[in-house]
Amino acid sequence: MDELKKSNLDEKTIAMSKGLIADAVQKAGSGHPGSAISMTPIVYALYRYVLRHDPLDPKWEGRDRFILSSGHASLAQYVQLFLAGYLTLDDIKGYRTMRSKTPGHPEYGLTEGIEMTTGPLGQGISTAVGFAMASRFQSALLESDLFKHEVWTLCGEGDIEEGVSSEASSLAGTQKLGNLFVIFDCNRIQIEGDTSITLTEDVLARYKSYGWYTDVVDFNTPSGYKEDVQALLRAVKKARKVEDRPHFIQVNTVIAWPAPGKAGSEKTHGSPLGEEAVRDLKKELGLDPDRKFQVDPDLLAYARQSVKRGEEAKREWEEGFEEWKAKNPENASLHERMKKGDLPQGFDKALDDLEESLSLDPLPTRASSGKALNAIAKVMAELWGGSADLGGSNNTVIEGAASFGPEGSGTKQWPNCSPAGRVIHFGVREFAMGAITNGILLGSSTRCFGGTFLQFADYERAAVRLAALMDIPNIFVLTHDSVALGEDGPTHQPVEHLSSLRAMPNLDVIRPCDAFETCEAWREIFEKEGTSPSALILTRQKVPTLSLTKEKAREGLPKGAYVLKGREGDDLILMASGSEVSLILGAAEELEKMGIRARVVSVPCMEWFERQPLSYRQSVFPDEIRARVAVEAGSAMSWYKYVGLSGRTVCIDRFGLQGSGSENMKALGMTVENVVEKALESLKEE
């Protein structure tokens, strides 16, 4: 096919795509047509000529990844997925309707060809950094370039303005992620109008300062506006020659072009164009203004050549994969296990041996967690992760492992650095860490974790929410879990955070009480059914290591709540999580001296408890025992469903204090005496 004919077919296919976008938004009565229309040439060029993908096998391991960070422009991607063969025309017609495959913003797990949920701006480009890191690590782990792929993301001004994109982009430059490509759709328009009122820096210079390769393609030519696909493809070809830096290509566009009277207007961002404007747009595009959802069979067949291109790429990859498997049986076996999600041989034994070695000496649960993490890491080669500059405090360093990064990038403190390094240094970038670890999980078969203080989970929260929404098994290690952390003061002392995290759907919040519960928490995180993410909440201060948990945690902890001490006919129930479990054991002893029999219940994970059968839940909290006290060094909010109308809470519903941990706990009511007093009050309510 000669270049002129090819270019003409491209232009016609792009025009047809824009017509479908306008019709879909108009039919839905809502949506974001402007950016989707002006982004269409970019997304078309990627799917048609750049991305290695197979529409017949959307999960093919050797594919490149494309992430639409500007998720509101979802139709730009949906239409290309239709043209490539992933979706049907009915899917396009069903845009933004209930149970369709084409929701307002792309959703992971719902639509074939969608690599992650996007919508909250900035997270797509940030998570893409994790995808790129995952490709590098998995390739090094399995010692094969087969697992290297390109990661492409398309973003707009809103993504660039969000701080998380700066966090992640800075780290990507440091990591020299040569497989990461960002295309910046620069139309200089957002909801409130011209971006000159909010975004005036030289974005290309900013990315160059991060250590990125930069380039620009300007559709605003001296002879007029021209959506030059060939110019974009030349820029891509040029960028691919640079392998030691991530790539940032700015494409200057006009929003909603060429809609008469609408192009360049912020009003096209989030509202349908209107019937008359859609007709005018179609006239400009050379389409029939009276036909809705117009699809030319010849153009569709031309676009569907992606199928053949994908099949050929996949066939070539699979030939190399079979050859690699034959020559590398151990790595091939590891790959197969990782892909299935199976745990390694010796997983349980590693934790059993650790528990056997534990004494009953007091230990911070963050330290217990570090021991469990390292025991698992010895048998699970695919486990890697790090911290937002708090590795020593979070106990999230895999002992003896190299740091993750390009060869030769080590420091005095961390001299060993390699693409197979298992220790990730995120810097003080909590939000980016959450997004990047999400990308690692989505972009590979490896497992990862990220650590910070519980107080700073607020910075990370949007990424935690996206992990929960996508139902991916991220592990958020959150230490320094209460006012007991002490002298750093109220700014660092979490109070509302436990209840806030528990309010998030599909997130398992686990607060173990001692070393044995902590080991069992790590075991259950990997062994539990489902893929929901986990937030592991850990103490800074030492807590007693209990003989009762040594006996009962293996069976009890996976159920979320279990009876540590009690019998039939108990008078009241004392319940707690984490460091307060030892406190209620002390209170139970005092009550027993008064002739009051108190049941002691450890509640490490409310989410796991709620999944248990009603019969089990009632066996832990019998209906007939109405006198109840819940104790936790945080907000009382999440405990009311367990204490009932006659119950009491010993919690902290105010900000912390400037004092030592023990002083703070005492001043804020975390004492045996206060628990006993509340228990007696509850007994009087019966």
Q: Taking Cα atoms as reference points, which of 131, 236, 119, 217 lies closest to residue 180?
A: 131
Please tell me the distance from the alpha carbon of residue 377 to that of residue 382, in angstroms, as a whole number. Answer: 8
Q: Are 508 and 482 in contact (CB under 8 A)?
A: no
Which of helix, strand or coil describes residue 383?
strand
Tell me what pLDDT residue 5 has: 72
Region at 514 (left for phi over 0; alpha for psi -120 to 50; beta for the rest): beta
Catalytic residue among 430, 460, 517, 580: 430
Please tell me the distance from the alpha carbon of residue 497 to that of residue 514, in angstroms, as a whole number. Answer: 20
What secondary structure letter does DSSP report for 241?
T
Q: Taking Cα atoms as reference points, which of 50, 65, 55, 52 lies closest to residue 443?
A: 65
Q: Taking Cα atoms as reference points, which of 110, 128, 203, 185 lies closest to residue 432?
A: 128
Q: Are 576 and 632 in contact (CB under 8 A)?
A: yes
Q: Are 231 and 251 in contact (CB under 8 A)?
A: no
Angle at Cα 549 formed by Cα 543 and Cα 554, nearest 5°? Answer: 130
- What residues pair up with 543 in beta bridges, in sequence order? 363
Please tell me the distance from the alpha carbon of residue 330 to that of residue 326, in angstroms, as a whole number. Answer: 10
Please tell me the distance from the alpha carbon of residue 575 to that of residue 678, in angstroms, as a whole number. Answer: 12
- The torsion angles phi and psi of 436, rounded to 5 degrees, stand at -65, -45
Tell me what pLDDT residue 1 has: 56
Q: Are 667 and 483 in contact (CB under 8 A)?
A: no
Confirm whether 430 is a catalytic residue: yes
Q: What is the largest CA-CA distance in the chain?
A: 95
Please tell me the distance from the alpha carbon of residue 276 to that of residue 118, in angstroms, as a whole number. Answer: 31
Terminal-residue alpha carbon distance, the chain: 86
Region at 632 (left for phi over 0; alpha for psi -120 to 50; beta for the rest): beta
Which of helix, strand or coil describes residue 169?
helix
Strands (E), 80-173: 151-155
Q: Taking Cα atoms as reference points, which of 54, 47, 96, 89 lies closest to residue 68?
A: 47
- Mutual angle of helices 457-470 and 123-142, in 10-degree steps: 70
Please tell me the distance from the alpha carbon of residue 8 to that of residue 186, in angstroms, as a whole number. Answer: 25
Tokens representing residue 586 in the block: 């002390």
Tokens representing residue 91 in the block: 């899917």
Structural domains for the chain: 3-312 (3.40.50.970), 347-543 (3.40.50.970), 558-685 (3.40.50.920)
Q: Taking Cα atoms as reference points, which of 448, 444, 447 lies closest to residue 146?
A: 444
State which residues of the chain have pLDDT below 50.
none
Burial (CB < 10 A; 0-12, 13-18, 19+), residue 359, is exposed
pTM: 0.97
Q: Are 616 and 559 in contact (CB under 8 A)?
A: yes
- What residues pair up with 152 in beta bridges, in sequence order? 66, 181
Q: Which residue has the tokens 């159920």?
A: 559
Tell me what pLDDT residue 60 has: 97
Tell me what pLDDT residue 2 has: 67
Burial (CB < 10 A; 0-12, 13-18, 19+), residue 643, is buried
Q: Taking Cα atoms as reference points, which of 602, 481, 592, 617 lies closest to residue 549?
A: 602
Neighbours of 301 (CB within 10 A): 9
User: Which residue type occupies 387?
Assistant: S
- The torsion angles phi and psi of 575, rounded to 5 degrees, stand at -130, 145
- The torsion angles phi and psi of 562, rounded to 5 degrees, stand at -155, 160
Q: Are 111 and 102 in contact (CB under 8 A)?
A: yes
Helices (H), 211-303: 229-240, 275-285, 297-303
